[in-house]
Chains A and B, each alone.
Chain A
C-alpha cells in the first residue's frame, strides 16, 4: 500500500502543482490590486517551476525561478511600488470589454481544449518518459541551434538600445 502511494507520489505532486498553478492564474483575473496580481503570478510561476522539476527538466525549473521570479517579477513589483496607489485605475477592475472578453474566453477554451482532447499526441518516439540530459541539451543548444542563440543575443542588444532610447525621449521632454 505504502509502496504504491510512494510510487505515485510524483504524479500526485505534479497534479497538485498543476492545480495550484491554475488557481493562482485564475486569481489574477479577479484580484483588484496590482501588487496582489503580481503575487498571484509569482506563485503561479513557482508552481510551474515545481512542475518542470517533477518532469525531470531541472535546469528549466531553476531558470524559471531565477529569470522569471528573480528578475522579471522583481522588476514588476518594483515598478508597482513606484506608482501612485491612489490612482483610480487601481479601483476599477475591468474595462468595457468584460463581456466580449468572457465570451471569447469560453469559445477559445472550447476550441483549444477540443484540439488537445481529440488530436491525441502520438506515442513517444524516444524512450518513454526518459528526460533528456543537460549534456544533450547543451550540445544541441550550442551546436545545432547556435544561430538562434546568436539571434537572441541580437534581440537583447536591441532591447537594451530601445530601453536607452525610451529614456532619452523622456529626458528631452522633461528638459523642453
Chain B
C-alpha cells in the first residue's frame, strides 16, 4: 500500500470517528472536540494530496481550515457556557426544548 493511501485511510478514520463521536456522545463539550477531530481528518487528507501533487493549494486550504476551526471554537465555547449557565448541565438531552 502506498504512503499516500495509508494517510488517506487515516484521514478517513479520523473523520468517521469524529462524526460518530458527534452522533453518539452525550456531553456537549465532547461533541465539540469530536468536531475538531473531523476538521483534523480533513486537514490530513489535504496535506496528503498536496504532498502527492507537489502543489501549494492543499497547504493554503489547510490554513483556511485552521482559521475556521479557531473561529468555530471562539463562538461555540461561549454558547456552551451560556447553555450550561441556564440548564446547569452539559447533557445534550437537557437542551431538546431548543427544537422549538
Contact = CB atoms under 8 A, between A and B. Distances in A.
A11 B5 CA distance: 13
B33 A29 contact: no
A6 interface: no
Nearest to B90: A89
Contact of A45 (B40, B49, B72): B40
B54 interface: yes
Contacts of B53: 124-126
A160 B76 CA distance: 12
A64 B43 CA distance: 10
A140 B40 contact: no
Question: Among B13, B33, B53, which residue has the most Cβ atoms of chain A within 10 A?
Answer: B33
Contact of B44 (A51, A59, A83, A163): A51
Contacts, number: 226
A75 B36 CA distance: 13
Interface residues of B, number: 76
Nearest to A155: B71
A55 B2 CA distance: 14
B91 A29 contact: no
Interface string B8-26: 1110111111111101111
Contacts of A64: 43
Interface of B: 2-10, 12-21, 23-30, 32-34, 36-37, 40, 43-44, 47-57, 59-60, 62-64, 66-75, 77-82, 84-85, 88-94
Interface of A: 11, 14-15, 18, 21-22, 25-26, 28-29, 34, 37-38, 41, 44-45, 48, 51-52, 55-57, 59-60, 63-64, 67-68, 71-72, 75-76, 79-80, 82-84, 87-90, 92-95, 97-98, 100-102, 104-105, 108-109, 112-113, 116-117, 120-121, 124-127, 129-132, 136-137, 140-141, 145, 148, 152, 155-156, 158-160, 162-163, 166-167, 169-170
Given A14-B3, A145-B60, 18 more contacts: A22-B13, A28-B21, A51-B10, A52-B47, A60-B47, A60-B62, A72-B70, A75-B74, A88-B89, A89-B91, A94-B26, A101-B23, A104-B23, A108-B19, A112-B12, A132-B56, A152-B64, A170-B78
